[in-house]
Every structure is written in structure tokens, then in C-alpha cells.
Chain A
Amino acid sequence: MRSAEDDAKTPEQSFWSNWSSWEEVDVQNSLGHDPLFVFPKDKLVEEGSNVTICYVSRSPQSNISCYLEGVQMQGEQLEPNVTVFNLNHVAFIRETGTNIYCKGDQGDSIKGIVLFVSKVLEEPKEFSCETQDLTTLNCTWDPGSDTGLLKQLSQSYTLFESFSGKKTLCKHKSWCSWEVAPESQEMYNFTLTAENYLRKRSVHLLFNLTHRVHPMAPFSVLFTDVSTTNATMTWKVHSTGNYYTLLCQVKLYGEGEVTQHNVSVEVDGEQLFSGLEPDTEYRAQVRCANANHFWKWSEWTHQNFTTAEAAPSEAPDVWRNVKSVQGHSVVTLFWKPLSKLQANGKILFYNIVIENLDRSSSSKFLSIPAPANGTELNLDQCSYQIHVTAHNSVGTSPASVIIVSGDPGNKEVEEERVKGTEDGFSLSWKPQPGNVTGYIVEWCDRPRGPLCDLQWKSVGPTTTSTVVSSDAFRPGVQYNFRIYGISTERVPYLLEKKTGYSQELAPSDNPQVVMSNLTSRSFTLSWKDYSIESQPSFIQGYHVYLKSKAGQCHSGSEKAVLSDDAVCCKYKIDNPKQKTFVVENLQPESFYEFLVTPYSSVGEGPHGAFTKVTTPDEYSPILIRVILPMVFCILLIMIICYLKSQWMKEKCYPDIPDPYKSSVLSLIKSKENPRLTIMNIKDCVPDSIEVLNKQEGTRKSLTETESSKPTYLYLLPTEESYSGPGPCICFENFTYNQAASDSASCGHVPVAPKAPPSQLALLTSPENLLKALEENYMNSLGEIPAGETSLNYVSQLASAMTGDKFSLPTNPPEPALCSEYKMQMAIPLGLASPPSSGSSSLSSFTLLDEGEHYH
């Protein structure tokens, strides 16, 4: 153990006493009955110190484990029941200290300590004192890290002034106030001491109070006599004593410029600003410092003011666009808003005076409220002088004069191409021999838009080139520039035209191609509607790609490989105005594909879809040339035939005379000459008649199956058949009418009693059979007795027998029962109309008369 004197006046001069002598203590006896002890108890050390921990257990057999922040420590066993742990360079962990504890393996005994590790106390940095009002000194410093712990308060700071011998305990960690002595002490020698439980650190400061004056910021900053170009600024400063002079710094910010003034001030400050811009807001600020012994500037004090408005200083930049509509000139006036420096205030309106130069007495006045930047005028073909002035609340700007001539003077000017860059278009033109007052370059920012957004740029008379740039310029858009010269009479006239792209792009689309004149050897392509002006670059020509299976390219074309590795023939058209192309040397009946794409200096159009075409064969046109006239001729003949059908009918197929309408019959009848027989059928005696059954669905009956075999009629006169009461033939066919078959199961056919054998052959065919029957009928009609052997022939060309036919039914030569046979014969022949249902089977010969048989 040793001791030292603690004196604030001489902190560095502490002298320690000599160490006391060692004394030995019996731990076991002094500790009492607890089974475990850990030492030292709640130690406070500085960061980086070396600490030794030990535990003493009452029982040497106990298995004790010790932990530092939860991590087991390895110690050195001094004795069976004493173990030490050496901790080197201990670090600060937390304000509540580092926990070290030991416990036995039974867990019933736990003992620990808290090792408080403090951060090392630092020397105060940047210690400084100053005053604002010479009554209070404010000392500040940087305290560094806090050494506070749960066990220990943060370090304290003490301010000691050696001349006055006063000492104050600072309430704050980083600053302290010191009352200036009323006896006007000028020199101060301060000692700032930082102290905690373990250490003291001190710093010193010696200064003259008047050299440490930090004035307060000026106040009451005002602006008086503010005109268009001048203003006076005044301010006040806080008093720091009667004999101090302040140096004030004044800064003026306006329109991106800064001006600075230094002013010496005792009580009030004043500064005149001149050369200001009208209607401009300025920002002024002022700060002050001790002029005699500069220490620090005060804080800035800011204030804004705005100068008064003045009349606009410049005439508005005016341009026009003239269009002739139905004998009138539609003049669109444009003007650019004046800049802030030119306007000198807020522009309220624009006045336009239109003066007719041809009739000097006529003038017109317009007032356009701002912020309009143009107007449209309808003028006649006279020349006009237009004055445009801008007005603000103070006055009028100079007039901008432009002449609109009655003669549009649209002379043809060759258009030149210019190459643009990202920075714009560099345009130059030939100087005009006459007097010009300037040049104007005119263009549209949006040439594809409906409003065009007309822009212009005015240059002086000596300038013959300019660079036109605009944020609106886009790649792939063609811009047209017109350069006008302004004559001394202020009449603009067109000098040159330029056109170009700020950046050319490859054509984006291909023309719509129409194919025509397709032959077996060639076809024609045309794309008349393709506009080369609206393309994203100057079109230099076209490429015609032709794909074919043959893959051979003829002269005038070259082989080309497309992006999809397809090989085709490429024809090149150098003239962009040539919009037709004939593809020749083709093979008949071949499949081709073609594509027309424009090309420019930056590339060609997209290789889109090819159009497919197949050439016809060579003979088709010839055939068409032959067949078409033939078809036409046939059609013509058919039409003529149709129109002349009556004539044709008479000539080609006249009507077949009706025997019954023949005049012969009347002649026969009138003459009553029985000898005029038309045909003698005496020799035509049929021996049999084959009756063929024709099955018709509507007439089927239950007996149909019974009559499936043909029925043969034996017509040869035999003794038995002819000697009977009547020549009847029995039918077994009940197909057509059951009732008839029931009621008349047999029919009687009138048969010529002596039919000649020669007639038999005629009956082998149905036609002949019919004829035979007709002849029978005619015989009966002619009232010839059945037994008469001589025959009368009646010519079929004889005149019709009118009236008699109606009497035919009235005089049936044979009984009605025999008529069924006739009917049966009539149907399979097919010469007569089909019998009407229900009555046909029972009809007599009357049904075979003119109504059905001959019509």
C-alpha cells in the first residue's frame, strides 16, 4: 500500500509515498463458511489493463468451473483450493460490467464478480473560448468517448481560470459558460480538467478577451429606394461595446451572379446596390466580424428584394407563314416570348398594327393578350407592313416590323440535302449580292405533325452559316429548312431549301407492290404509291429479290443470300423514282417469290414476306385466244337461235300434222266412199299377243303374285273361239283393278275375224301392236262391219276429222267388257300417258282418244 497527494493546482506533480510492508492473512479462516469465493470483488479498471481473478474453494475436492461472459476460463491452480485466472488487456464490453462467475459441479453454489472496464479518459480536444457580448465567455471542447459505467459516473469537467483563481464545475460534457469579470479583465488563462474515478486529463488556454469576439448575426435588414436598377440595403448590429468597429460582408445573389461588398460598421450598416436588372429578384445576405481583431464571422442574415419593372428593351422576334387561300393570304404571325432580361417585367399583351402599303390610309390594329405567341391574319393580295410590339405594365417595347408582300414570289428553288448530326444541322448559304438586313432559317420541329410547330432562327446580314439544333429533332425524321433573306425593305424572300435527317435510319417498311402482266416468261411489278419523302432516310433505290427453284440468276441480277440463308436473285434499281420493274427470263409453269425493298445509305428495308407467283404455261394464252372466240360465237348462235326459234322450228322441225285434224278425213266423210281405205290389214292376222305385266306400286293387290307370268292371247281365229257368242279373251291379270277382275274376269277383245297372216309380224313390237289396235279401232270407228274382208286405207296425212271424234264413245263397236284388254295393252307401251288412278283400268276406248293418246 502507498499514498499520494491529490491537488488540483498541481495535477502533474503528485508524489507517491513508499509501499507499506507485506502482511500475510489466512484466507480460510477469514472467509467464513461459504463454500466458494471469487476475488477481487467488483473491480474497476481501465481498458487494456491486466487483471488477475482467483477463486478459493473451501473443499479442495470440489470441481469448480469459472466463466468470463459465459465462456469457461482456464486458470492456474496455485493451491488445491486456490486457482487464479490472468486476464490481459481487458476490453470494455458494457456499462454494466463484465460478468465473471464460478460454480461447482453440483450447481448449488455460484459466486461471481463484475469486472467494470472503463474506457480510457481522453484529453479534451478543440478547447476554445469566445464571447458574443463581452459579458459571457462560452468555452467548448470535444470530450471524446464517455467513460461512464454502472459503477462509475461519466467523467466530469472543471474549468479553472488562473488569473482570477476561479473554478467552476461544468454542467455539460462539451461546453461551459464563464461570466466575464466586471472589472474588464482582458487576459484569461483557462485550465480544463477532465476527471473520472481512475484518471485526470487537463488542457490549457490563454487568450485576450477582445480577440475572441464572435459577433451575433446582424438584424433589421431592410431595402430602401428600390428602383429598376438600384437598391439600398440597411442593417443593424448588436452592440459589443462603444469602441469596437465591425467589418461586415455583404453578398448579393441575382441572375446567377454574386457580388460581394465589405462595409465597416459601428452601429448601423448601409450598402447601395447599382447596376441591377429590372424586375429581378435578388437575395442579399450580411455577416460581421470584429474589424480590429478578426476572430470569427457572425452567422449570415438573409433578405430578398425585387427591382421595379421597366419597359421591354427589345422588339419581339417575329416571323410569319403565308398561305394563299382562295385569292386571300392567310398570314400566321409568330413571335418568340421575350427573355426575362428583354421583357423587364411581365408582358401583358402584344399590339399588332397592320398597315396596307398599297392603300396607305388603311391600317388595322390588334391587341393579343399574353402569353399568346402568334395570331392568324386574313389579308388580301396587297402588301402589308406589320408592326408587333410587346407591352408590360410600364411601357412598350420597340416595334418589330415585317412586310407581307402581295406577290408571294414563290420562285422555284433547288432543294439541297444536308447531313445532320446529333448536335443539329450545319447550314450554310450563298451570300446575297444585294443589301440584306439579315437572314432567317425556318423549319418545322414536327414535320409529320398537323401543327408543324414552325421554328425560325434569325442571323445577321454578314452571317451565311448557322447550326440549327433543337431538342425536338428525332432520328429518322426528315426536316426541311428554308433560308430567307430579309431585304432592306424588310421583305423576306426565299433563298435556299435544305433537307436532311439528324440521323438516317434504315427504311422501316417495304412498298406495297402490285403485280401485273403475268406471262409465262415475265411479270411486272409496280409500287406507285410508295412515298420516298416519308421514309426515315434518303431512298437511293430499290432491291428486287426473286426466289426461284432453279436458283439461276440472269443478267441484270446477282445472287444474294438472305438472312435465313435463302439464295435468291437480286435486281438493283438505282433510281428511287423508278417504281416499276419487269421481271423477265422466267420459266413457264414455275413458282417464284419476290420482294421489293428500298435501300438507302444506312441499309435496306426489312426482308419481310415474299409474294408468291406461279407463271402460267405457254399454251394457255393461245388456247384462250382460240376458245374464247369460239365460245363467243356459240353463244351468239344460241342467242340468235333463241330469238329466231319460231323460224327455226318451222324450218327444222315443223309440227306433225294431226290425222284427226286432217282435211282428208273430212274429205272421206264427205264423199262417203268406203273404198278409200287407208290400209288393208286383212293379211295381218296376229296369232298371239304377248301382254307384259307392268307392276306399279299403287296398283298392287293380293292377286298380283298370281299373275306374274305373261299372259298370251291367242288371236288366231279358231273354230271354237270364233264360233262363240263373242270374241272374248280371258285375262288372268288382276293387277290394276280388283273390282274389274272380279266383275269381269274375262275380257272380250274385238278381233278381226280374218286377220291376214302378214299382220302378225307387225304385232311383234308394241308399236306395231298399237298400230294394229288403232287400226282395229279405226275400223270400228269407220263403222266397218266386223266381218268385212275388204279394208279401207286412211292416210295419216289426211285432214283432221273434227267432230267425229267426240262421237266415238257413243258408238263403241264392241261391248264395254272387251275394253279392258285395250287398256292393258296401252300401259306397257308407254306411248300413252299413264292412266289416271282409279278409273284408268276400267276406262274404255274413249280414254285413248285425243285427250290422252295423241296429245
Chain B
Amino acid sequence: MDLRAGDSWGMLACLCTVLWHLPAVPALNRTGDPGPGPSIQKTYDLTRYLEHQLRSLAGTYLNYLGPPFNEPDFNPPRLGAETLPRATVNLDVWRSLNDKLRLTQNYEAYSHLLCYLRGLNRQAATAELRRSLAHFCTSLQGLLGSIAGVMAALGYPLPQPLPGTEPTWAPGPAHSDFLQKMDDFWLLKELQTWLWRSAKDFNRLKKKMQPPAAAVTLHLEARGF
């Protein structure tokens, strides 16, 4: 390659041409498909918002149930709430979850929790409480749709509900009112734990989906100089 000093004008013209066509480079084109990143971010934000919203709602509802359910150190054994999806999981297991399984678990958990929560809303005695629960249910429905959107963006199919496993809120005759209150307590507690876990799940997904630092290598052919 033989560069002469008199060709500096030519190099400048070439650089300008490259910069002019820079938007056309596919890796830098912002108008293209942004991928699942923004959806994950929105889902993460939504979980944080719901977490904040649930804190207020749970306080009101547990007061409505009365002591000992509204006592801060009340931590009863998880009796009669086996049907609720568990949020707690071993850390290694959680780390080893792949994206699809992680998202599927979230989707299934919120589907069940939303169903239980609607049953809770139907039983609430005060109008104010019903309004708060309905508002929260709407938000939770939005979270569910957001998770479904992320799964669709990543090409994962939505889990199909198994027939006969549709959760119901119809306590049997042997289900006492006290146990019902325990179920309500555990529903709210599990919901809170799921929102914490989801925030971590989507934060992990967000970091995973984040593209590496933009490094554009321009291969300039100096032929003709």
C-alpha cells in the first residue's frame, strides 16, 4: 500500500462517505427489531411497581382479617395452601434454570395467583377493599401479558393449562373460616415472594439479553489510494 501525502483529501472524502452510510449498517440501525430487551425491562419495572402496590394492599387486607394475621411476626406453618405455587426455590436450581423454564414458571405462577386473587376479591366485604383488589388484579393481568410478550419475543410457546388443574376458590365444607383466612394470608405472602423472585428473574434476563458493548469494526479497503 502506497500512501502519498497528496491523498489526504481523498482519505477525508472516503471517511465522510463511510460516515454517511453508517446508518445503513445493520448492527447500528435503530429502526430495526429491538429484540426482547425492552419488553424484559418493562416487565421488570412492572414487577417492582406491583411489589410496591401489594405492600399497601396486603396491609389493608390483613387488617381486615384481624389478628394474628396482621401481626408482623406472624409466621404460621404453610397449612392448607399447598395448591399455591411456591416461589422459594434452591439457589442453584434457580441459577440453572434456562430462560424458557424461568419464564414459564413465572407465567404459570401468576396465572394461578391471579385466579386466587379474583376469588379473594369476590369475598371481600367492603367496597373499598374490593376496589383495591380489582385494581391490583388488573395490574397483575398486565404483568401476565407482559411475560407472555417476552416469551413470544423469545419464541417460547405459552404453557397450556392442564385440564382439571384449574384452581378454584370454593372451599369445601370442611374448610374452616380460620383456614380460609390462613389461605388468604399465604396467598398474599406467596404473591409478594413471587414478585421479589420475578424482579430477580427479569433482572437476570435483562442482563443476559443485553448486547455486548457496541464495537463496530469498519473494514476499509485502501485500494485506489
B contact residues around A113 at 8 Å (CB)? 176-178
B26 CB-CB contact with A under 8 Å: no
Most chain A CB atoms below 10 A, which of B71, B123, B176, B177: B177
B contact residues around A112 at 8 Å (CB)? 178
B76 CB-CB contact with A under 8 Å: yes
> What is the minimal beta-carbon distance from B133 to any residue of chain A, in angstroms?
14
Most chain A CB atoms below 10 A, which of B64, B77, B178: B178
B125 CB-CB contact with A under 8 Å: yes
A contact residues around B126 at 8 Å (CB)? 95
Q: How far is the CA of A151 from the CA of B181 in the complex (A)?
A: 12
A114 touches which of B64, B125, B181 (Cβ 8 Å): B181
A854 CB-CB contact with B under 8 Å: no
> What is the minimal beta-carbon distance from B60 to any residue of chain A, in angstroms?
12
- A75-94 toward B: CB 8 Å interface, digit per residue (1/0)? 00000000000000000011
B157 CB-CB contact with A under 8 Å: no
Q: How far is the CA of A578 from the CA of B123 in the complex (A)?
A: 100
Report the nearest B residue to A68, measured CB to CB. B67
- B56-95 toward A: CB 8 Å interface, digit per residue (1/0)? 0000000011111101000011010000000000000000
Q: Is the CB of A150 within 8 A of B178?
A: no
Q: Is the CB of B125 within 8 A of A99?
A: no
Q: Is the CB of B69 within 8 A of A99?
A: yes
Report the nearest A residue to B65, measured CB to CB. A96
A contact residues around B68 at 8 Å (CB)? 67, 70, 99, 101
Report the nearest A residue to B184, measured CB to CB. A96
Q: How far is the CA of A116 from the CA of B180 in the complex (A)?
A: 14
Known: A95-B125, A150-B125. A114 touches B178 (CB 8 A): yes
Report the nearest B residue to A43, measured CB to CB. B177
A contact residues around B76 at 8 Å (CB)? 110
B contact residues around A116 at 8 Å (CB)? 177
Q: Is the CB of A114 within 8 A of B77?
A: no
Q: How far is the CA of A123 from the CA of B176 in the complex (A)?
A: 32
A42 CB-CB contact with B under 8 Å: yes
A97 CB-CB contact with B under 8 Å: yes
B66 touches which of A94, A107, A109, A111 (Cβ 8 Å): A94
A contact residues around B178 at 8 Å (CB)? 42, 99, 101, 111-114
A257 CB-CB contact with B under 8 Å: no
B177 touches which of A42, A67, A93, A107 (Cβ 8 Å): A42
B contact residues around A67 at 8 Å (CB)? 67-68
Q: How far is the CA of A524 from the CA of B66 in the complex (A)?
A: 96
- A92-126 toward B: CB 8 Å interface, digit per residue (1/0)? 01111111010000011111111010000000000
Interface size on B, residues (CB 8 A): 17
A649 CB-CB contact with B under 8 Å: no
Known: A70-B68, A150-B125. A97 touches B177 (CB 8 A): yes
> What is the minimal beta-carbon distance from A336 to any residue of chain B, in angstroms?
64
> What is the minimal beta-carbon distance from A786 to any residue of chain B, in angstroms?
117
> What is the minimal beta-carbon distance from A712 to any residue of chain B, in angstroms?
109
Chain A residues numbered 104-156 whose CB sits less than 8 Å from any CB in chain B:
107-114, 116, 148-151
A contact residues around B123 at 8 Å (CB)? 150
A607 CB-CB contact with B under 8 Å: no
B contact residues around A149 at 8 Å (CB)? 125
A97 touches which of B66, B71, B77, B79 (Cβ 8 Å): B66
A186 CB-CB contact with B under 8 Å: no
Contact residues of A: prevailing secondary structure: loop
Q: Is the CB of A109 within 8 A of B77?
A: yes
B contact residues around A101 at 8 Å (CB)? 68, 178
A70 touches which of B67, B177, B181 (Cβ 8 Å): B67
Q: Is the CB of A114 within 8 A of B69?
A: no
Q: How far is the CA of A69 from the CA of B67 in the complex (A)?
A: 5
Q: Is the CB of A70 within 8 A of B176?
A: no
Q: Is the CB of A93 within 8 A of B79?
A: no
Q: Is the CB of A94 within 8 A of B67?
A: no
Chain B residues numbered 79-127 whose CB sits less than 8 Å from any CB in chain A:
79, 123, 125-126
- B153-193 toward A: CB 8 Å interface, digit per residue (1/0)? 00000000000000000000000111001000000000000
Most chain A CB atoms below 10 A, which of B66, B79, B125: B66
A171 CB-CB contact with B under 8 Å: no
Report the nearest A residue to B180, measured CB to CB. A114
A199 CB-CB contact with B under 8 Å: no
A41 CB-CB contact with B under 8 Å: yes
A contact residues around B181 at 8 Å (CB)? 96, 99, 114
B contact residues around A114 at 8 Å (CB)? 176-178, 181
Q: How far is the CA of A149 from the CA of B67 in the complex (A)?
A: 17
A contact residues around B79 at 8 Å (CB)? 110
> What is the minimal beta-carbon distance from B122 to any residue of chain A, in angstroms?
12
Report the nearest A residue to B74, measured CB to CB. A70
> What is the minimal beta-carbon distance from B132 to any residue of chain A, in angstroms?
15
Q: How far is the CA of A96 from the CA of B64 in the complex (A)?
A: 7
Q: How far is the CA of A69 from the CA of B181 in the complex (A)?
A: 14
A contact residues around B71 at 8 Å (CB)? 70
> What is the minimal beta-carbon distance from A258 to any residue of chain B, in angstroms?
46
Q: How far is the CA of A94 from the CA of B76 in the complex (A)?
A: 22
Q: Is the CB of B66 within 8 A of A96?
A: yes
Q: How far is the CA of A113 from the CA of B176 in the complex (A)?
A: 7
Q: Is the CB of A69 within 8 A of B177?
A: no
B contact residues around A151 at 8 Å (CB)? 177
B contact residues around A107 at 8 Å (CB)? 77
> What is the minimal beta-carbon distance from B129 to any residue of chain A, in angstroms?
10
Q: How far is the CA of A108 from the CA of B79 in the complex (A)?
A: 10
Q: How far is the CA of A606 from the CA of B153 in the complex (A)?
A: 94
Q: Is the CB of A96 within 8 A of B125?
A: yes
B176 touches which of A41, A93, A96, A110 (Cβ 8 Å): A41
Q: How far is the CA of A110 from the CA of B76 in the complex (A)?
A: 7
Q: How far is the CA of A535 from the CA of B79 in the complex (A)?
A: 96
Report the nearest B residue to A99, measured CB to CB. B66
> What is the minimal beta-carbon distance from A110 to any residue of chain B, in angstroms?
5
Q: How far is the CA of A114 from the CA of B185 in the complex (A)?
A: 15
Q: How far is the CA of A150 from the CA of B123 in the complex (A)?
A: 8
> What is the minimal beta-carbon distance from A630 to any residue of chain B, in angstroms?
109
Report the nearest B residue to A98, measured CB to CB. B66
Report the nearest B residue to A70, measured CB to CB. B67
Q: Is the CB of A99 within 8 A of B176?
A: no
Report the nearest B residue to A95, measured CB to CB. B125
Q: Is the CB of A99 within 8 A of B67?
A: yes
Q: How far is the CA of A524 from the CA of B123 in the complex (A)?
A: 104
B contact residues around A96 at 8 Å (CB)? 64-66, 125, 181
Q: How far is the CA of A266 from the CA of B115 in the complex (A)?
A: 64
A contact residues around B69 at 8 Å (CB)? 99
> What is the minimal beta-carbon distance from A676 to any residue of chain B, in angstroms?
126
Q: Is the CB of A42 within 8 A of B176?
A: yes
> What is the minimal beta-carbon distance from A106 to any residue of chain B, in angstroms?
10
> What is the minimal beta-carbon distance from B140 to any residue of chain A, in angstroms?
23
Q: How far is the CA of A42 from the CA of B177 in the complex (A)?
A: 6
> What is the minimal beta-carbon distance from A111 to any residue of chain B, in angstroms?
8
> What is the minimal beta-carbon distance from B70 to any residue of chain A, in angstroms?
9
B contact residues around A41 at 8 Å (CB)? 176
Report the nearest B residue to A112, measured CB to CB. B178
Q: How far is the CA of A110 from the CA of B68 in the complex (A)?
A: 11
Most chain A CB atoms below 10 A, which of B71, B76, B79: B76
> What is the minimal beta-carbon distance from A301 to any residue of chain B, in angstroms?
37
Q: How far is the CA of A763 from the CA of B177 in the complex (A)?
A: 155
A-B contact pairs, 26 of them (CB 8 A): A41-B176, A42-B176, A67-B67, A69-B66, A69-B67, A70-B71, A94-B64, A96-B181, A97-B177, A98-B66, A99-B65, A99-B68, A99-B178, A99-B181, A101-B68, A108-B77, A110-B77, A111-B178, A112-B178, A113-B178, A114-B181, A116-B177, A148-B125, A149-B125, A150-B177, A151-B177
Top 8 A-B pairs ranked by shortest CB distance? A70-B67, A114-B177, A112-B178, A42-B177, A95-B125, A110-B76, A69-B67, A114-B178
Given contacts A99-B181, A149-B125, 7 further A-B contacts (CB under 8 A): A70-B71, A94-B64, A96-B65, A97-B66, A99-B66, A113-B178, A150-B125
Name A residues whose Cβ lies closer than 8 Å to a Cβ of B: 41-42, 67, 69-70, 93-99, 101, 107-114, 116, 148-151
